[in-house]
Amino acid sequence: MEEILKLREASYWETVWDKAMLYGKNPGSEGPAHSVELWEKRAEKFKTNVKGERGKKRTGDVIKWFENQGLSLEGMTILDIGAGPGAFSFAFAEKKAQVTALEPTLGMSSTIRERIETEAISGLEVVQMPWEAVDVEQMGWQGAFDLVFISMCPGVHNAELFKKAMSCAKKYVYFSGWAGRRDSDAFNELWNELYDEEMPIWRSDIIYNLNWLYAQEYSLAFEVQQDVHPEESSIEDAVEELISRLNFHGKDTTGLQEKVVAFVSERAEAGVFTTNAVSRRGKILVKL
């Protein structure tokens, strides 16, 4: 009974959350997934992804979900934490919101600035800084935004950083993250081949945010969607992606380049590497 009662305590979920996110210290952890340097290297890939049909659909689905929850973006002040190349920030600005896009990488923040200048977009400013380094009071962000928006952001990876984000909001907090399964046939097979074991679970999971909020009786909406799709890439891009994912899981990839190249080359057809990808994403809208 005591264990069951703990499930209703926010402090219990904070402890579980923090233990789960001890990346780089336990086998199969996320490794340097929160490293700005790593994401700097992936900037070009992210720019391409958000321009594609799947990226546009994801942005449109979130805005439609907001509307279904009675949230109108027009005139709102929004902090977009981990804005990436700005897919959501631009979509919010188009809805006449005043947006602050926080993005730590130069590669992606410069993309936002260039588009603002080229397209003469108003109502959108960029702050290049990691969320971990933000001093909320010094920035004047304490309770300063109608909506704090956090979409698949590795910078908000524990309870303290999530609470800091919530402290910036007046009306709403949005969070999306992995909800259980995140894998691909190829990566599972590669992992087994390299380490002779099943791939461990991905430690980042929306279950911690959700239950922490639930335990405190916040008013919220929650939804999970599963995405199954084939991924096609060149041999070079596939090798880069697989090595990056090994890094995310805390694996030392020194000396693995040749093995990964061989793995991809053996399975590619006419220079194209294909794998089935499965992921579950969850999203929460907190009404303060």
Rounded average pLDDT over 268-279? 89
Helix (H) or strand (E) holding 68: helix 53-68
Q: Are 103 and 126 in contact (CB under 8 A)?
A: yes
Mean pLDDT of the region 4-9: 85
Res 41 pLDDT > 70: no
Query: Given this model, what pLDDT does residue 215 score?
Result: 95
Return the pLDDT at 73.
96
Q: Is residue 196 in some structural domain? A: no
pLDDT at residue number 100: 98
pLDDT digits (tens, 9 = 90+) for 121-147: 999 999 999 999 999 999 999 999 999
Output the pLDDT for position 226.
87
Read off the tokens for 280: 């579950």
Give a yes or no: residue 28 inside a domain. Answer: yes
In a domain, 140, yes or no: yes
CATH of the domain at 150: 3.40.50.150
**Residue bearing the bigger pLDDT, 100 or 203:** 100
Q: What is the pLDDT of residue 51?
A: 61
From 35-49, 89-103, 208-222, 246-260, the region with the lowest mean pLDDT: 35-49
176-203 as b/e: b if 16+ CB within 10 A: bbbbeebbbebbeebbeebeeeebeebb
The better pLDDT of the pair 30, 59 is held by 59
pLDDT of residue 155: 86
pLDDT at res. 25 = 45
Residue 5 confidence (pLDDT) above 90:
no
pLDDT tens per residue, range 16-29: 888 876 644 444 44
Contact 204, 179 (CB under 8 A): no
Question: 49 in helix, strand or coil?
Answer: helix
Residue with tokens 């336990």: 26
Residue 203 or 95, more confident? 95
When mean pLDDT is compared across 74-88, 120-134, 221-235, the lowest value belongs to 221-235
Band (50; pLDDT cuts 50, 70, 90): low
Asked if 108 and 44 count as a contact pair (C-beta separation under 8 A), the reply is no
- pLDDT confidence of residue 27: 42
Residue 178 lies in a domain: yes
Predicted confidence at residue 30, as pLDDT, reads 46
Whether 264 maps to a domain, the answer reads: no
Instruction: Return the higher-pLDDT residue of 15 and 199.
Output: 15
What is the count of structural domains for the chain? 1
Residue range(s) defining the domain that contains residue 283: 2-182+202-229+278-287
Query: Is position 267 within any domain?
Result: no
Q: SS3 for 234? A: strand
> What's at 213, amino acid-wise?
L
Residue 34 has pLDDT above 70, yes or no: no
Which residue type is seen at 183? D
Q: What sign does the dihedral 70-72-77-80 (CA atoms) show?
A: positive
* In a domain? residue 257: no
Asked if 286 contacts 149 with a C-beta cutoff of 8 angstroms, the reply is no
Contact partners, residue 195, CB within 8 Å, separation at least 6: none
Residue 188 lies in a domain: no
Please, what is the average pLDDT of the chain? 87
C-alpha Rg value of the chain to the nearest Å: 20
Question: Model-level pTM?
Answer: 0.85
- Contact criterion met (CB below 8 Å) for 176 and 225: no
